[in-house]
Structure 1
Amino acid sequence: MINYNGNLLEASEVQLTTENRAFKYGDGIFETIRVLNGKVVFWEDHYFRLMASMRMLRMKIPMEFTLEFLENEIKKVASNYSESNLRARLTVFRKDGGLYTPKTNAVDYIIDVKPVTASVKKEYILDLYKDFYNYSGLLSTVKTTNRMLNTIAAVFADENDLDNCILLNERKGVSEVTNGNIFIVKGNTVKTPSLSEGCIKGIIRKKIIELLDKHPEYTIEETSISPFEIQKADEVFITNAIVGVQPVTKYRKKVFTTEISEKIQKSLLLVSATS
């Protein structure tokens, strides 16, 4: 089932026109959200990121777009599934019309839900994607529907028997991976690219930074990271809303341990269950 502007429809019944701005111009944003046992995980964080993104992109926020309203709209779709672990995608896009300049800043929304099939892998291989760069501006922190760089990097990974690729910014610093944020561990220091490096402002990224900030054994740094630092790291892990924490086991010829990554994943699961 699909929730299209509050109406529950079969996927085959949803009709988007050729004037749809998300299709024509990538003029849309989205949130990928985990729904676990009927609970929308970290919903408040997702909601406030969505509102901030809409303001940044000058979209008109409907009066009914409250925290409670959108949560209920997600649950309306999720309740049609018997599975306990679901992935919801909430996409907001400007209404049809206009060339590059939209006729209106009013929005439509679509919520689609699917059972989660992804899981943490025991072996996970990573490498650099260097054909194109991720611009290190503030707009890159927003989850827009224009994911061309991520798409072609994912195709590159598939063609080269990789599980994922690291995206670099125009300064050739580490930005993120194709489907999430990246963290590197060296000793008791955990580093992740700062938002000024062009990475998505990930919800799980935020939660892990909060967890490590409170942990007496570790220091967390949001900073610039060189690709050379990855080869010197003890551990590397990536994060997103669906898998949580995915340890990386190999980067080129370097093999990583996963002990700290697995501890962080367990801590994240506890936070997810109680948030």
Structure 2
Amino acid sequence: MGTRSVWNGSISFGLVNIPIKLFTVSDSSNEYSFNQLDEKGHKIQYKRWCPIEEKEIPYEEIKKGYKIAKDEYIIIEKEDLDKIKAATTKTIDIKEFIDIKDFDTVLIEKSYYVSPFTDKTSGKRKSKQKESVLSASTKAYRLFVSSLKETDKIAIGKVVLKDREHLVAIRPYQRGMVMHQLMYQEEITPIDEIDGMPGSESSVSSAPIDEKELELGRMLIGNLTSSQFDATQYSDEYTKQLEKMVTAKSKGITYKTEEKEDSLDTSNNLLEALKASVQRSKTVKN
């Protein structure tokens, strides 16, 4: 793998200890970002400004603060944070195993690839003892992956990353494993608090769904169902268009987008919308 690991440690459960490395799943190197400029194209700079004393504050004088009331904060010193700082650990401590079907993907915040630990040190001759240890570690990793696959289980554990304790889920993925950094339940907004969500206080009662509409709905889903999901057929079309536009403007060329056909407006008639959608899905599938 060309990327560098972001964390080295081990997976621990029972008396088993498996040395591993973590790698970020996403690649942000191709993302476009914009700078803020004035009308003459000069880059805007930002100052750490105190509006009360009307002066710029040097970085070394900046403090962390926690808001307790309007315009009222308490200063949190580094020493205060050190008192509650999570103990440094290099272990993913597995707490339990759950069925894959019971895993709620809404909890996922970030994902990492999990690879077996290998010593890539070049120019140094490895001893037979060291090679034996690495071989045993790789075998333990493969055994763990196979065990999870055979039992359709996901491992739930805790690990300290960047001085914060995280809840994580580890599952088999293709030839290896992936670790999901999870949000805690208290960080999830209850669905009943979402405006307009069915069952919430703000939801609006709607007309009942008749059998014809339900039948067309099932038919539409059936026509658009694939035998196997292939993520490679999807790409970021917006970024591609943005890249073309930036390239054109850098060359002084006016960028033009292709005009799309207007879609049929059936927003006020659910039955007609379903019929039109089913007909269109037949054409797409064929």
TM-score computed with the length of structure 2 as normaliser? 0.20
Query: Relative contact order (C-alpha < 8 Å, sep 6+): which is higher?
Result: 1
* Structure of higher CA gyration radius: 2
Choose between structure 1 and 2: higher strand proportion. Answer: 1
TM-score computed with the length of structure 1 as normaliser? 0.21
